[in-house]
């Protein structure tokens, strides 16, 4: 009996040792989003870049249902780091209906101005034209759905009552539904967003619909955590001028217990790999460690390991 107990103890100790060595090597699980969305595209490029720059790290990306699920899974420890839309970040840290999330910011990803896209032959040109129409707002757990809710509420519209709202199982289903007429418009955001890119490349082209100047003023007055942003001309095929809208920065968040040294190494690898990220996908050109302290909601939310790197590299106080 004693020999069996000793044998089991040895197995347990060896298992713990192997697990510790694996984690010491920098094994990190990254939560992304649903197939066809921008988070999976960004997450895969991010993981490849960080792994290439710092081979002591091993970032493994996993598909999720998007920002809302990512926050829950970070809080439960199921994920080490995850991509989270700006509005979901704001709600996680500031929503008075729940305790503030005990999560930390690893990096700012990119700005996400929200807007609609319709087919090129569509008669719709303003948000008000879409009232009562079938609109695909994205995957139900996506932060883009939350952004749409704030934008529409800011101009006196209800996402569920004023539209025939369609929520997708996969973000990638939206463009096909727009193309064959199952929906009249598709909501999304950012520079190079895959759904918009597919719609814009269609033979008949596409038209983007964003809040006008008066609507932007109303939205920002009601929700000051949103910011006026622009999608530069040429971000999508046949887009000949800038598109001004509102949105926020998306972030990479971590569970509160992610070790400082791992967070530091991720920050360093991201900084050294910024040029690679930008070359790989357009929206990643907004990823720069140098401006994290300026766009983070509050500096105390930045992971201590990342803050150490910012102080050493950029003199952040």
Residue 303: name the closest of 245, 271, 241, 261 by CA. 261
Measured CA distances, 118 to 121, 138, 183, 237, 258 (Å): 8, 14, 9, 14, 42
The 10 Å CB-count burial string (b at 16+, else e) for 113-147 is bbbbbbbeebebeebebbeebbbbbbbebbbbbbb
Name the class of domain 112-248: alpha beta
Q: For residues 107 and 203, give the distance between their C-alpha atoms in angstroms, rounded to a whole number.
A: 38
pLDDT tens, residue order, the chain (317 aa): 454 444 444 333 333 333 343 344 579 999 999 998 899 999 999 999 999 999 999 999 999 999 999 999 999 999 999 999 999 999 999 888 789 999 999 999 999 999 999 999 999 999 999 999 999 999 888 899 999 999 999 999 999 999 999 999 988 899 999 999 999 999 999 888 999 999 999 999 999 999 999 999 999 999 999 999 999 999 999 999 999 999 999 999 999 999 999 999 999 999 999 999 999 988 788 899 999 999 998 999 999 999 999 999 999 88
pLDDT at 282: 80
Range(s) of the chain covered by CATH 3.40.190.10: 2-111+250-314, 112-248
Domain 2-111+250-314 architecture: 3-Layer(aba) Sandwich (3.40)
Q: For residues 34 and 90, give the distance between their C-alpha atoms in angstroms, rounded to a whole number.
A: 21
Q: For residues 144 and 228, give the distance between their C-alpha atoms in angstroms, rounded to a whole number.
A: 16
Residue 37 · residue 143 · CB < 8 Å: no
Q: For residues 78 and 73, give the distance between their C-alpha atoms in angstroms, rounded to a whole number.
A: 5
Q: For residues 57 and 36, give the distance between their C-alpha atoms in angstroms, rounded to a whole number.
A: 26
**Both tokens of residue 152?**
């529409």
Instruction: Please give the model's pTM, rounded to 2 decimal places.
Output: 0.85
User: DSSP secondary structure string, 170-209?
Assistant: SGGGHHHHHHTTS-SEEEEESTT-HHHHHHHTSTT-EEEE
pLDDT at 171: 87
Please report which residue ranges of 62-110 form alpha helices under DSSP H.
67-76, 86-94
Measured CA distances, 240 to 60, 144, 197 (Å): 38, 24, 14
Q: For residues 83 and 42, give the distance between their C-alpha atoms in angstroms, rounded to a whole number.
A: 9
What 3-state DSSP class applies to 256? coil
pLDDT at 19: 38
């Amino acid at each position: 009996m004693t020999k069996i107990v000793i044998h089991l103890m040895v197995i347990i100790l060896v298992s713990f040792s192997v697990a510790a060595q694996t984690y010491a090597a920098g094994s990190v699980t990254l939560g992304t989003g649903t197939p066809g969305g921008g988070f999976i595209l960004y997450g895969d490029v991010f993981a490849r870049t960080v792994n290439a720059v710092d081979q002591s790290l091993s970032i493994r990306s996993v598909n999720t249902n998007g920002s809302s699920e990512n926050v829950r899974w970070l809080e439960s420890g199921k994920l080490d780091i995850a991509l989270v839309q700006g509005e979901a970040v704001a709600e996680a840290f500031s929503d008075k209906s729940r305790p503030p999330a005990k999560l930390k910011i690893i990096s700012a990803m990119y700005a996400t101005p929200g807007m609609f896209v319709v087919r090129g032959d569509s008669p719709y040109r303003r948000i008000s034209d879409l009232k009562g129409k079938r609109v695909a707002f994205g995957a139900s757990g996506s932060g883009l759905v939350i952004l749409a809710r704030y934008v529409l509420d800011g101009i006196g519209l209800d996402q569920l009552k004023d539209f025939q709202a369609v929520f997708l199982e996969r973000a990638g289903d939206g463009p096909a539904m727009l193309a064959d007429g199952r929906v009249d418009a598709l909501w999304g955001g950012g520079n190079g967003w895959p759904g918009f890119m597919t719609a814009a490349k269609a033979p008949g082209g596409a038209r983007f619909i964003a809040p006008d100047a008066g609507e932007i003023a109303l939205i920002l007055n009601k929700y000051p955590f949103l910011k006026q942003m622009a999608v530069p001309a040429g971000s999508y095929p046949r887009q000949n001028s800038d598109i001004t809208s509102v949105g926020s920065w998306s972030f990479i968040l971590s569970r509160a217990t992610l070790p400082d040294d791992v967070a530091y190494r991720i920050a360093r690898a991201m900084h050294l790999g910024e040029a690679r990220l930008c070359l790989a996908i357009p929206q990643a050109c907004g990823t720069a460690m140098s401006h994290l302290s300026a766009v983070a909601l509050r500096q105390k939310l930045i992971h201590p390991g990342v803050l150490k790197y910012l102080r050493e590299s950029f003199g952040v106080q």
